[in-house]
Structure 1
Amino acid sequence: MILKGKTLQNPTSPQASAGQKQEQNVAFFLRRAFKDNPEILVINDFKFTFNDETAQIDHLIVYPYGFVLLESKSIKGHIKVNQQGEWTRSYNNQWSGMPSPIKQVELQQALLKNLLAHHRQEILGKFLGIKQGFGGRCWDHICVVSSDTVIDRNTMPKAVSDKLVKSEFLVDKLHKIMKLGNKLLRKVNVYDTRPYFNQQELDSIGDFILSQHIDGNRQISEEVNKAPEPIQHSQTNTTSNNSVPIAETQPTAQANLSCKNCVESTNYTPMYGKFGYYIKCNHCSKNTPMKQNCPQCQSKNTKVQKRKETYTLHCQDCSVESQLI
């Protein structure tokens, strides 16, 4: 299931354009393989902060047994990695060093593990009175390079070669890593001792990760195909010198948020729990989910996101963003 598509930007250099194209290619293969699988959650272009550190993960996969982080790299020409793990690449017959994408994604992985561990109780809650956590889960990371990259695997350390794959072989590699098997046999498979998340826990993890995403400047999602809404011009009178009226963009829609028990619409406290964002009514103490149907198209395919102290409802079908709080 695709929880977040690749976000397109306006590249300012040929290198940035090539990098974005590579990320789009990887997102394409992930969408083709997993869009209809509710047990495999795909989050593209995930940026988050924790403990005053910021990380951006090109592609993140959450599945019943753990997590896989993918770092996309557009590399034209040859790449080599020596026994010390140092990377070099060729471009126009000129060799130069480059940062290790494996080390880069390892740093991202460490920060994500700390973030999830810190919020483990609110994400996973308790089972039989015991606090759940992320211990024992599988953590893997891969560098995905362009299909036209020439890889010198003969001199490359095996540990690096195992984490390096071309785009068209990515899905095969992921299946080998995840080893999902038959869902019905997990509880009785004594040979597979990996702890796993059930569907409820997967959904909670996915909702939490989406809530932590940091939006940058206004960007265009590759999954949004609708035409932009026309600019609405103000109806104020123009001056005698025929100046052009100031253009105003259409404001964000406002969703109705109130307690489902007593219909209180102002006296509540926003909170986050195992099933996502909700409000706790200060009048009757009942909880009400923030997630609701889109006020524009009535679709149930919506997600709640938090940006600082603002909560918004994002419709995945009509792309309307409605302010909740």
Structure 2
Amino acid sequence: MRGCLGAGNHLFQWLCVVLLWLGRIACAATEQGDSGMIEKQYDERAKTGDRLRDAGNAAEARMAFYLHRAFRDDPDFLVLNDLRLVDPEQPEHNGSPGVAQIDHLVVHRWGMFIIESKSVSDSVTVRGDASSGDEWTHLYQGRHTGIPSPIRQAEFQGRFLRSFLQRHRQDLLGKMPLALRPLARLLVKTDQRGFMNLPMQIIVAISDKGKIDRKNGWEPPSEPFRTYVCKADQVDAKIREEYEKHRAASGLLSRPDGGYGIWWMEAEECKEVAKFLKEQHSDEGRRGASAQKPAATRATAPPSPKRASVGKDGVCRECKSVKLTAHWGKGYYWKCQDCGANTTMPTVCSSCGAKGDRGKGVRIRKDGERYERVCEGCGCEELVWSG
């Protein structure tokens, strides 16, 4: 099944839908009135002198402008521009941490849109290949050049993002509705909702002045959800069109349309996911310098050797050692260098005593090699670990 639990049984799929709808009735009053926002703005970059790089940056900036204009006041969408995620749990072929660079991500309650910006001043030609794939050719100043498929690039980003979020599902999503939990535990061994079936739709945005040449009537994929290749100024309309399909299919009296409307988040969970992704963004290795950030003034003194700094409550739960290293994956935790045990980083505010629950109220925030505990109630920020 493509939906809430991934089961292949049609009867179970319909049962999931009915119970999910019933579980949402009580929450309907809280799903209105939240303010939409641009969760992560686009950072303008200085000119580099590289024609292709500068053109690509300009295309991303233009797309960010269109998204800001369309969704800055819309309560249904959260936008993250220029998002770069690094994940050691999804390593590259050479063993280095895996990286996904997403030009633009739009988060909504029934899924996400990955928008891949492409700078095209003349035209781009797309044709099908012999295996239901797509081949792309860019025409510039009379010269044809093959380019990687942006659809395939975005598909990789979607798989990376699902896996990345799935490991943090307990911090970001709640459990299945109470009536569905016994059945969920029986069939899939857990009643925890997850991200592996999150609808991840792709839109390839071509520069306003570019021409799209679809050879032999080529059409982008439509399964399991619709993919679009369009001009940048048409993207917001495509997003709204698909969003309405999800919303309509999720209604209590509606019949599900394929996978539309089956997977879902509460409005508050949607905001938590967007906030989490913003916090996980890594600036390292970005293409070109930011025009908004002045050159850093570097100290002339030689750097001192790096030493890990552990917060006052950093103690191994097994042997009480303070020789710890910080890790993240299924939550945030320390690994003891003496006995090897894992210890969850506590989410209890030392200032007001508030306790965190699935990443809400008091949460761990990772910023590079720093791990901080942040209390949303009193605003206290505490160092948990620093490499």
After TM superposition, is the score higher than 0.5? yes
Higher strand share: 1
CA contact (8 A) 1:136 1:194 kept: no
CA contact (8 A) 2:250 2:262 kept: no
Question: Superposition pairs for residues 219-238 of structure 1, below 5 Å?
Answer: 220=290
Q: Of the candidates 59, 63, 84, which is equivalent to residue 22 of structure 1?
A: 59
Residues 204-243 of structure 1, C-alpha deviations (whole Å, 9 max, x = no match): 2112212221122796477x9xxx8xx9xxxxxxxxxxxx
Q: Distance in 2 between matches of 1:116 and 1:194?
A: 18
Residues 103-139 of structure 1, C-alpha deviations (whole Å, 9 max, x = no match): 1111111111111112212211334363111254322
Q: Distance in 2 between matches of 1:284 and 1:5?
A: 32
1:191 maps to 2:252: no
Q: Distance in 2 between matches of 1:221 and 1:3?
A: 20
CA contact (8 A) 1:9 1:220 kept: yes
Shift of 1:34: 0.9
1:149 maps to 2:210: yes
Question: Superposition pairs for residues 5-20 of structure 1, below 5 Å?
Answer: 5-12=41-48, 13-20=50-57
User: SS of the residue aligned with 2:100?
Assistant: strand
Q: Distance in 1 between matches of 2:169 and 2:255?
A: 27
Query: Which residue of 1 is the match for residue 39 of structure 2?
Result: 3
- Aligned in 2, Cα 1:305/1:89: closer, same or farther, shift over 3 Å? same
Shift of 1:91: 1.1
1:41 maps to 2:78: yes
- Aligned in 2, Cα 1:288/1:122: closer, same or farther, shift over 3 Å? closer
User: SS of the residue aligned with 1:279?
Assistant: coil
CA contact (8 A) 2:102 2:116 kept: yes
Residues 68-115 of structure 1, C-alpha deviations (whole Å, 9 max, x = no match): 101001012121122211111111111121111111111111111111
Shift of 1:17: 1.4
How many matched pairs?
270
- Identity over the aligned pairs, expressed in percent? 27
AA aligned opposite 1:126: K
Residues 26-74 of structure 1, C-alpha deviations (whole Å, 9 max, x = no match): 1111111111123311010110122221110000111011011010010
Q: Distance in 2 between matches of 1:36 and 1:69?
A: 20
CA contact (8 A) 1:39 1:202 kept: no
Gaps of 5+ in 1: 232-245, 249-264, 293-302, 314-321
User: SS of the residue aligned with 1:188?
Assistant: coil
AA aligned opposite 1:145: I
AA aligned opposite 1:148: K
AA aligned opposite 1:191: R
Question: Superposition pairs for residues 47-196 of structure 1, below 5 Å?
Answer: 47-50=84-87, 51-52=90-91, 53-84=98-129, 85-127=134-176, 128=178, 130-159=191-220, 163-179=228-244, 187-192=251-256, 193-196=261-264
Q: Distance in 1 between matches of 2:275 and 2:141?
A: 45
- Aligned in 2, Cα 1:324/1:20: closer, same or farther, shift over 3 Å? farther
Q: Distance in 1 between matches of 2:193 and 2:291?
A: 35
TM-score (normalizing by structure 2): 0.59
AA aligned opposite 1:202: C
CA contact (8 A) 2:110 2:247 kept: no
User: SS of the residue aligned with 2:139?
Assistant: strand
Q: Distance in 2 between matches of 1:54 and 1:83?
A: 28
Q: Distance in 2 between matches of 1:86 and 1:121?
A: 39
Q: Distance in 1 between matches of 2:157 and 2:262?
A: 23
- Aligned in 2, Cα 1:304/1:283: closer, same or farther, shift over 3 Å? closer
- Aligned in 2, Cα 1:312/1:221: closer, same or farther, shift over 3 Å? farther
Q: Distance in 2 between matches of 1:41 and 1:47?
A: 16
- Aligned in 2, Cα 1:182/1:174: closer, same or farther, shift over 3 Å? closer
- Aligned in 2, Cα 1:35/1:197: closer, same or farther, shift over 3 Å? same
Shift of 1:8: 2.4
CA contact (8 A) 1:137 1:194 kept: no
Question: Superposition pairs for residues 257-296 of structure 1, below 5 Å?
Answer: 266-267=312-313, 279-280=347-348, 286-287=354-355
Q: Distance in 1 between matches of 2:43 and 2:135?
A: 31
CA contact (8 A) 2:116 2:154 kept: yes
AA aligned opposite 1:31: H
Shift of 1:171: 0.9
CA contact (8 A) 2:119 2:207 kept: yes
